[in-house]
Amino acid sequence: MRTILEAAERVLSKNPAASMEQIAEAAGVARTTVHRRFASREALVDAMSAWATRQFAEAIDAARADTAPPLVALYQATANVLRVKSDWGFAMSRAPSDDPEVIRVHADVEARCERLFRRAHEAGVLRGDVDPAWARRVYYALIHDAIQERDADPDALAARLVDTLLRGVGTGQGLT
Amino acid sequence: MRTILEAAERVLSKNPAASMEQIAEAAGVARTTVHRRFASREALVDAMSAWATRQFAEAIDAARADTAPPLVALYQATANVLRVKSDWGFAMSRAPSDDPEVIRVHADVEARCERLFRRAHEAGVLRGDVDPAWARRVYYALIHDAIQERDADPDALAARLVDTLLRGVGTGQGLT
DNA sequence: AGAACTTGCAACACTGGTGATGCAAGTCTG
DNA sequence: CAGACTTGCATCACCAGTGTTGCAAGTTCT
């Protein structure tokens, strides 16, 4: 089950037009087995979306974005999000699912991120003359940008991303 | 000819898996006519890439990035690039063509952009304490980000993008 | 008007993917 | 061990897209 979803992600992220046959092969399973579990190609993709969204939510939870010190939370959340977006790039790049649960999760993440940047601003991690909303916009753009670099290690990527962000809008506090 | 390329871009940017039939229909032409001009689907996409690259090069030329005042060039280049990337999003998102001409154009654009940011730095458009290379990195990320917003007017988008960039790294000179 | 060229239409063969099913072999569970 | 369940395999019908061709009608150029 999870095996198939992961194989599908692996194959479809490389070639969105890949056949069920190729997905099955990557999962080490017969094509008919895939069809038995997922009625159609569409059903498979939907299941991938749902699964990826769950992973995404867990990634944010694990970062303790609301309670950990802002800088720590920022690193942690960035690394976790990059890992999920890199592991589930295809599933998450799909047009936003109409599933209300998926929509809710994304709105929730947005809100938490906004709070985190406000906290970072107040804690002096961001320069006082920098609009937290602007910093967040740049942050999003940098995330989007980092995703493009396939194959790279999410932790290293996250470190570089946060360093890059703070070189521009940070105070240099706590960076060593 | 151009009609078909434009229709193909329109259709494929909405649905990369669209059939030749749909492309032909969008071009107001019979499917066989498309096949007479482009031997295969692959040939059509290659032609789109070549065409888009030409448009891209012209967009940069028109901005006078090397000679106009940095701020003017930045606005102009941004607007032109956004227009092309928005009009030819599908063709330009393809894996970089192996056509050496295409590679040359992209390298050339990269170099011109780097020069432009150095000029902007020296002219005081960018803050002195900001690394021009970092500013350029953020600029790229913001461009990438702006492309996502389909349907928006490229000029308005470019204005917002440059404002956003300069709010972060600019000196406020010449923004009025 | 006449020649050269382009287009639409209809038809065709071919390919590859999809989804279903029956059966035999394997695994798990009580 | 016996029954329930899952899997792989082979096979099938089906469909959509691709690429080709012949022909008739239309356009363009001289």
Is A161 within 8 Å of A78 (Cβ atoms)? yes
Distance in Å from D7's C1' to A84's CA comes to 31
Check whether B2 has a pLDDT greater than 60: yes
Q: What is the pLDDT of residue A175?
A: 44
pLDDT tens per residue across span A38-69: 999 999 999 999 999 999 999 999 999 999 99
pLDDT tens per residue across span B19-66: 999 999 999 999 999 999 999 999 999 999 999 999 999 999 999 999
Instruction: Determine the longest span between alpha carbons in chain A, in angstroms.
Output: 60
Q: What is the pLDDT of residue B134?
A: 81
Least Cα separation, residue B142 to chain A (angstroms)? 6
Task: State mean pLDDT over B128-149.
Answer: 86
- Provide the pLDDT confidence category of residue B174 given band limits of 50, 70 and 90: very low
Q: What is the pLDDT of residue A176?
A: 44
Which residues, listed in sequence order, are joined to residue A93 by a DSSP beta bridge? none
Cβ separation B134–A168 shorter than 8 A: yes
Q: What is the pLDDT of residue A129?
A: 81
Q: What is the pLDDT of residue A112?
A: 93
- Mean pLDDT of chain B, nearest integer: 90
Least Cα separation, residue A145 to chain B (angstroms)? 6
| Contacting residues for B114 by C-beta, under 8 A, at least 6 apart | B133, B136
d(CA A131, CA A133): 5
Cβ contacts of B11-20, under 8 Å, gap ≥ 24: B12/B45, B12/B48, B12/B90, B13/B89, B13/B90, B16/A16, B16/A17, B16/B90, B17/A16, B17/A17, B20/B44
- Provide the pLDDT confidence category of residue B130 given band limits of 50, 70 and 90: confident
pLDDT tens per residue across span A152-165: 889 999 998 998 88
pLDDT tens per residue across span B106-128: 899 999 999 999 999 999 999 88
More confidently predicted of B134 and B110: B110
Task: State mean pLDDT over B85-104.
Answer: 86
pLDDT tens per residue across span A3-24: 999 999 999 999 999 999 999 9
Closest-approach nucleotide to residue A23, Cα vs C1': C17
Closest residue in B to A141 (Cα) is B141
- Which residue type is seen at B44? L
Is A119 within 8 Å of A70 (Cβ atoms)? yes
Q: What is the pLDDT of residue A107?
A: 92
CA-to-CA separations, B32 to A19, A68, B28, in angstroms, rounded: 27, 63, 12
More confidently predicted of A169 and A107: A107
Q: What is the pLDDT of residue B16?
A: 92
Task: State mean pLDDT over A103-110.
Answer: 91
Coil, strand or helix at B27: helix
Question: Strand C within 7 Å of which CB atoms in A 126-145?
Answer: none
